[in-house]
C-alpha cells in the first residue's frame, strides 16, 4: 500500500522506528506496537480509502482478527483532502470520527522573545525522562495510566537514542513544564510529536518556544528541509503553529471506539 498522506506516512514510519510492526495487506496496513498494546494509535488499521457504510462491519472484523485482545478500535484513512463525510460509515457504526489539520513549512517565522524563567533544551538524563512521564500524567484525558505513559516515554527515548531526532523540554525552576519531539520520518521531512504543556504552565509561550527551538534544530542539524505538525483545527495550538510560519496543507482522517473509563 502506497501511503499518500504525509501525516500517516510519518506516523507509520515513527511507529516502525520505535519498534513497531507494519504489515501491508494491500488495501490496508496493520500497525502494531507489541511493547505497548494499550497504545491506541500504535495499534491500528490504516485503510487505503474511506469505507462505505456497508463495509464498516467488515473492517471491524478485520481489526478484531488483527488485535484479538484489544478493547479499542482505531482506524486511519489515507488521503490528503478528506472530510468528515468520508467517515460517515464509521460514524453510523457508533465510532468517534475526527479530521485533523496537517501543517507544514520550509522556514520558520522569526523566533519570539525568550520566555522569562524558562530553559528550553533537549531531554537528556533519567531525571528528565521521569519528568516526561509525570508531565503525561498531568493530562486529564490520558488513557492507560502510568504504565502506558512509562512505556510511551521509553519509546520516545528510544527514538532519540537511535538518532532519529530529539525530545525537547521547557523547564521552569527545573520542572518540565512542556515538551515535544521532532524526528526525521522520511528523507528531508521532520515530524513534530507529542506536544504537551502542564495545565499550570499554559499560556506562557512555552509551546511557541519549543516549536521554534526544535524546528530550527531540525532544519539546521537533522537534514530536514520541511517541517510537519498535525493539530486539532479547533485547538488554540493551531494558531501557535500558524504564527510560527506553518501553513495548512492536508487533512488527516481517523475513527475510534475507545474503552470507557
Average pLDDT, consecutive stretches of 10 residues, N- to C-terminus, the chain (261 residues): 96 95 98 94 97 96 97 97 96 97 97 90 98 95 87 96 97 97 95 96 94 97 97 93 96 94 56
- Report pLDDT for 261: 56
Domains in the chain: boundaries? 6-100, 118-244
How does DSSP classify residue 131? H
Which residues face 165 on adjacent strands? 183
CATH number of 118-244: 3.40.630.30
d(CA 61, CA 227): 36
Stated pTM of the model: 0.94
Residue 85 contacts by C-beta under 8 Å, 6 or more apart in sequence? none
Which residues face 255 on adjacent strands? 75, 97
Q: What's the first-to-final CA gap in the chain, in angstroms?
A: 35
Amino acid at each position: 500500500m502506497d501511503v499518500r498522506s504525509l501525516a500517516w506516512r510519518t506516523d507509520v514510519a515513527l511507529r516502525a522506528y520505535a519498534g513497531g510492526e507494519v504489515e501491508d495487506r494491500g488495501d490496508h496496513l496493520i500497525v502494531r506496537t507489541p511493547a505497548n498494546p494499550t497504545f491506541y494509535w500504535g495499534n491500528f488499521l490504516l485503510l487505503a480509502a474511506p469505507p462505505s457504510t456497508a463495509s464498516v462491519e467488515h473492517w471491524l472484523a478485520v481489526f478484531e482478527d488483527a488485535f484479538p485482545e484489544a478493547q479499542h478500535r482505531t482506524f486511519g484513512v489515507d488521503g490528503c483532502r478528506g472530510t468528515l463525510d468520508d467517515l460517515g460509515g464509521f460514524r453510523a457504526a457508533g465510532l468517534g470520527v475526527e479530521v485533523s489539520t496537517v501543517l507544514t513549512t520550509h522556514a520558520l517565522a522569526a523566533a519570539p522573545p525568550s520566555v522569562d524563567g524558562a530553559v528550553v533544551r533537549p531531554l537528556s538524563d533519567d531525571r528528565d525522562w521521569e519528568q516526561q512521564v509525570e508531565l503525561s500524567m498531568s493530562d486529564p484525558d490520558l488513557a492507560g495510566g502510568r504504565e502506558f505513559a512509562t512505556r510511551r516515554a521509553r519509546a520516545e527515548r528510544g527514538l532519540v537514542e537511535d538518532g532519529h531526532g530529539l525530545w525537547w523540554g521547557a523547564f521552569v525552576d527545573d520542572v518540565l513544564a512542556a515538551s515535544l519531539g521532532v524526528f526525521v520520518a522520511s528523507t528531508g521531512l521532520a515530524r513534530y510529536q507529542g506536544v504537551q504543556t502542564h495545565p499550570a504552565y499554559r499560556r506562557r509561550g512555552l509551546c511557541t518556544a519549543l516549536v521554534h527551538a526544535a524546528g530550527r534544530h531540525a532544519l539546521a542539524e537533522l537534514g530536514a528541509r520541511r517541517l510537519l505538525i498535525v493539530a486539532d483545527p479547533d485547538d488554540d495550538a493551531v494558531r501557535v503553529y500558524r504564527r510560527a510560519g506553518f501553513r495548512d496543507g492536508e487533512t488527516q482522517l481517523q475513527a475510534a471506539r475507545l474503552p470507557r473509563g
